[in-house]
Amino acid sequence: MILDQAASRLEALGNPTRLRIYRSLVRAGSQGSPVGRLKASLGIPSSTLSHHLKTLLAVELVTQERQATTLVCRANYEVMHELVGFLVEECCADASCGSAAGNDAAA
């Protein structure tokens, strides 16, 4: 993953409203959630929601699929894992950071 792309994704997730949307989608899991339900459960006006969804869509963090009248949104886990991987990638390239093995209690 290119740095600028990672930054775009991180930035997309960096807005509280978008992060809320995204997490809601993560929670919804594979069945996803229609835009309308997102709107209702998060209390975000349609236009704002649509705007943010477009941002999330643009960086591939979210996918959409039409189901009859409604548009079902889903979190793209694969991209999220890629992003997490990018963040951790060079961690410990040097030395310490004894947490890669899962032990970061050292804090």
Applying CB under 7 A, which residues contact DNA?
15-18, 34-36, 39, 44-55, 64, 66, 68-71
CB 52 within 8 A of CB 18: yes
What is the rounded distance in angstroms from the CA atom of residue 49 to the CA atom of residue 13?
14
Quote the least distance from Cβ 102 to a second copy, whole Å.
10
Count residues binding a second copy (CB under 8 A). 45
What is the rounded distance in angstroms from the CA atom of residue 3 to the CA atom of residue 19?
20
Q: Roughly what angle, to the nearest 10 degrees, separates helices 46-58 and 3-13?
A: 160
CA 44 to chain centre: 18
Is 54 a residue that touches a second copy (CB under 8 A)? no
Is 12 a residue that touches a second copy (CB under 8 A)? yes
Residue 22's contacts (CB-CB under 8 Å, 6 or more residues apart) are 13, 56, 61, 62, 75
34 binds, among a second copy, DNA, none (CB under 5 to 8 A by kind): DNA
**Residue appearing with tokens 């989608």:** 25
Is 14 a residue that touches a second copy (CB under 8 A)? yes
Is 101 a residue that touches a second copy (CB under 8 A)? no
Which range in 38-46, 50-58, 64-72, 81-89 contacts a second copy by CB under 8 A?
81-89
Quote the least distance from Cβ 31 to DNA, whole Å.
14
